[in-house]
Amino acid sequence: MPYVVGDRGDIAAVVFGDPLLSPPAQQRGNKILWVSRVSQDGDPLLIEARLDGSGTPVTREVPGGPGPSGVDLPEAGCWHLTLRWSGHVDTLKLRYVQQR
């Protein structure tokens, strides 16, 4: 199962919808299981994503904190994510590819 560990090691993104697609496929979602290594109190997981690390951020929210989610982003490319949950912050990169 493909996964990406956060730069601080506090969160991992297990990618069930591999590859992640933009726009998303009709027959399957961009499924990501967020796994936190640190404590959480049920606050939402807030995602701030920037394509190639610059430009206007896109925000997403996973209610209840790290766990199962579907995260669709508006363009293909390398996205730099800043993740905030229950007083924790970590960053990681995810690649979305153009749907064919």
pLDDT digits (tens, 9 = 90+) for 12-37: 999 998 999 999 998 899 999 999 99
**Cβ–Cβ < 8 Å for 33, 4:** no
Sketch out the chain's domains with CATH numbers.
3-98 (2.60.40.10)
Give the model confidence (pLDDT) of 31-85 as tens digits: 999 999 998 898 999 999 999 988 899 999 999 999 999 999 999 999 999 999 9
Query: Is the peptide bond preceding residue 66 cis, with omega within 30 degrees of 0?
Result: no
Query: Is the peptide bond preceding residue 19 cis, with omega within 30 degrees of 0?
Result: yes
Q: Which of 30, 37, 29, 31 has the alpha carbon at shortest distance from 5?
A: 37
